[in-house]
Amino acid sequence: MPDKPEALGPNPRVDLYLELAGLVSGLLLVTFLWVHAFLNATVILGAPVFDGMARFLERYYLSPVGIGLGLLVGLIHVLSVARRIPTGYREQRSLWRVARKLRHADTYAWILQVITGLIILVLASTHIWVVLADWPLQAAKSAFRVQTNYLSFYIILLLVAEYHAGAGIYRQFVKWGWFRRRSVALAVGTAVALILTVNLGGLWAFHQLGVAR
Ligand code: HEM
């Protein structure tokens, strides 16, 4: 029987399940980010529209269910991809050595994927904590945050999250070989540009909102 590739763990079937869990949870998180962006962007239509949307989500328990599911899927995503992260000094050193030798953009993209994932873990936890501590959602409260300390925080979180999501989707689709590299890059690039625009539009509207507090 041929030797098992070193990249696989002791049980290839478990590896496949973890791989699929990483893929599905990643796609669900991207869906969450899109829904989150469009819900936030309702503030472009005015504070009453945002507040009406927030009350609607609250009345039908969609907020707690959405947040709970988002946290659960986020946890599954972290657990299913964590085995790939080189934690030891020796592992990290040999990874850099291989990356420098290969000089391939996709290897650097993977390293950046790990780094941005860790940054998101810290920034998104802080963000969720800050928003939940000031519950319920209200346009005036969000605008107050954006206009005081949080604008640069949100811009950094936005860029890091969109890079991580875009590069993650690109890598997955290329890896499974479903579509041509070029078509995937074009589709992902267009989607990222669109979602950045929606998010920045929302941030801009929060920034411009008159706040009576
Ligand atoms: C799970 C519960 C979450 C809730 C309830 C939530 C809610 C909100 C709200 C209300 C705002 C407007 C500003 C503010 O109120 O401070 C906001 C902005 C933002 N959130 Fe979240 N968020 C959640 C999770 C996340 C996650 C997981 C990410 C990224 C990984 C994220 C990224 C952002 C970014 C980048 C902004 C600023 C851009 C924009 O307005 O769209 N959020 N979020």
Decide if pLDDT at 103 tops 90.
no
What does the domain layout of the chain look like in residue ranges?
A: 12-208
CB 117 within 8 A of CB 157: no
151 alpha carbon – ligand 1 mean position (Å): 12
Question: What does the pLDDT average to over 75-80?
Answer: 94
Decide if pLDDT at 213 tops 60.
no
Q: Which residue puts its alpha carbon closest to atom 26 of ligand 1?
A: 124
Pocket of ligand 1 (CB under 6 A): 36-37, 40, 67, 70, 120, 124, 127-128, 131, 137, 142, 145-146, 150, 154, 157-158, 161, 199, 202-203
- Ligand 1 atom nearest the C-alpha of 202 is 40
Query: How does pLDDT run across 150-189, given as a tens digit for each residue?
Result: 999 999 999 999 999 999 999 888 888 888 889 999 999 9
- Ligand 1 atom nearest the C-alpha of 67 is 1
CB 118 within 8 A of CB 86: no
Decide if pLDDT at 1 tops 50.
no
More confident residue, 163 or 98: 163
The CATH number corresponding to 12-208 among 2.40.160.50, 2.30.30.100, 3.40.309.10, 1.20.1300.10 equals: 1.20.1300.10
pTM of the model: 0.88
Dihedral of CA atoms 115, 76, 85, 104 in degrees, nearest 10, equals -70
More confident residue, 155 or 97: 155
Decide if pLDDT at 55 tops 80.
yes
